Amino acid sequence: MSSSEAKLKEIRVRMAPSPTGLLHVGNARTALFNYLFAKHEGGKLILRIEDTDLERSKPEFEKDILKNFEWLDIKWDEGPYRQSERTAIYAEYLGRLLKENKAYYCFCSEEELEAVRQDQLSRGLAPKYNGKCHNLAPEEIKECLSKGKPSIIRFRTRQEKISFTDLIRGKIEFDSSLIGDFAIAKDLNTPLYNFAVVVDDFEMKISHIIRGEDHIPNTPKQILIQEALGFPQPKYAHLPLILGPDKSKLSKRHAAVSVANYREEGYLPEALINFMAFLGWNPGTDQEIYSLGALAQEFSLDRVQKAGAIFNIKRLDYLNGFYIRQKSLDELTELCQPYLPARIATQSVAGGPKAEKAFLKKIVGLHQERLKKLSEIKEFTDFFFQDKLDYDKELLRWKETDDERIAASLDKTEKLLSEISERNWAKENLEKVLMQEAEKIGPPATLRSPEGVAMRAGDRGLVLWPLRVALTGKKASAGPIEIAEILGKEKTLTRLQEARALIK
């Protein structure tokens, strides 16, 4: 067995993001599949930062990548390696290709190359380099370099059929005559993508390359470079693209954004992991909920599909809601804390930090079943933290009820609740007083306000709807009785009085 063959015995995969932007869900999905494959096979995951694009690569983007991999709990075994710190390695291999006449300097200007490209397109040909500098004499090359003439390094492409067996798609074949002599470096110290990754994958002993299908056109170029340098060929698996519900290319209009954005919106890492795992893979069962560890046990490339994976934000919301409901109230309250006001409204709670924490736990607990993402807690609960609500009086109206009857309902509710002591201010007592009063009156009896205004008998909505709006200023909310319990007697009565003043 050769040393090159021995290099591929161990399962080693890599996630290789470029720090030219925030970590996108597509790149995170690719990293996850590499992680799951490595764990399932007992292999290792290498993190490589591909930052050879010096103009677009930024430290803040690398920081975002590392932070969000850690947040997702995608742990790597080696790295991070940075291509920007490996230029001497690339220069050595570039020099070797030049010395063996497998690569050459090209001095064609951008204007020349663009003119050739446009001519080829006009004749219905696939654009490729026309080979002008393919056979320059050594003296001419030396003279151009000594004069500092702008150049790049091109690979000499042999005319042959290139094929490889993709672990997901089967046999894929290319005709190298359609590729032409392609650029592999700007100079000895500035390698381009296809060259740098081939060298890195060999040096890092990568056995399997698992990446998106948009990289398929790069594969024949990389195989050619591998052959020229005598490197073994890794096994390839090209994942399906992620598509929007309309099967178009995934974009922000499909709610596909960076991992950091999902995190800020209040999605949980376990929900995002579970969601991404099903973007192109399925376990072959009806099971939908998987932990990261369970996914690693079940994962195999055999169950990765060829067709595009549909991104459905509603499914992510469903999964996130599920994981939110699994959290303990203490943990969920901590997670919701960043989305709640920094200042508790002056009349909301008294008794210091301990009472404040208990107050927040009640609020979060009331909405735990309704939350699809943590950020919703702000919209659902903002009225708890306001001293005075601002809403249209029309919102108080139940069906076609006139102002006089709404005012009467508010008066009656205020009177009933005012008779409950602070000590007995609890949901069961509030519910008993309000619901029994509304239910016990049946036709043809009427419920009357202190002023004697009649209300339709037995109509719960006429009691509960104005109460809900008075306490929240919202058309939809959690139950008004539960809200009243948390607000407390004083604030509940105050808001009922404010609502009555508004309707009058």
Quick: pLDDT tens for 299-321.
999 999 999 999 999 999 999 99
Which sign, positive or negative, has the C-alpha torsion 187, 188, 190, 191? positive
Is the pLDDT assigned to residue 80 strictly greater than 80?
yes
Confidence of residue 352 (pLDDT cuts 50, 70, 90): low
In this prediction, residue 504 carries a pLDDT of 80
- Residue 252 falls in the annotated catalytic set: yes
- Residue type present at position 433: V
In this predicted structure, what is the pLDDT of residue 247? 85
* pLDDT-based confidence at residue 65 (cuts at 50, 70, 90): very high
The predicted structure's pLDDT at residue 350: 58
Residue 80: is the preceding peptide bond cis (ω within 30°)?
Answer: yes
Give the whole-angstrom CA distance, residue 487 versus residue 480.
10
Q: Helix, strand, or coil here: 358?
A: helix
Please state the rounded mean pLDDT for residues 345-372. 81
Using 50, 70 and 90 to split pLDDT, how confident is the model at 275?
Answer: very high
Q: Please state whether beta strands 447-448 and 190-191 pair in parallel, antiparallel, or not at all (unpaired).
A: unpaired
Using CA atoms, how far residue 100 sits from 118, 141, 183, 411, 492, in Å, is 32, 15, 17, 95, 86
Average pLDDT, the chain: 91
pLDDT confidence tier of residue 461, bands split at 50, 70 and 90: confident
Give CA–CA dist 288/267, Å, rounded. 17
Where b means 16+ CB within 10 Å and e means fewer, 291-306 reads ebeebbebbebeebee
Asked if residue 190 has pLDDT above 70, the reply is yes
Q: Which amino acid is at 178?
A: L
pLDDT, residue 448, reads 45
Of the candidates 192, 241, 199, 196, which has an alpha carbon nearest to the alpha carbon of residue 216?
A: 241
Rounded CA-CA distance 327/324 in Å is: 5
% residues pLDDT > 70 (the chain): 91
What are the φ and ψ backbone dihedral angles of 316, each rounded to 5 degrees? -60, -40
Q: In whole angstroms, what is the distance from residue 384 CA to residue 378 CA?
A: 10
**Backbone Cα Rg of the chain:** 33
> Given this model, what pLDDT does residue 435 score?
84
Phi and psi for 189 in degrees, rounded to 5? Answer: -100, 5
Per the omega criterion (within 30 degrees of 0), is the bond before 245 cis?
Answer: no
Which residue among the candidates 252, 388, 475, 504 is catalytic per the annotation? Answer: 252
pLDDT tens digits, 201-220: 999 999 999 999 999 999 99
Is residue 464 within 8 A of residue 414, CB to CB? The reply is no
Residue 151 confidence class, pLDDT cut points 50, 70, 90? very high
Note if the pTM is more than 0.75.
Answer: yes
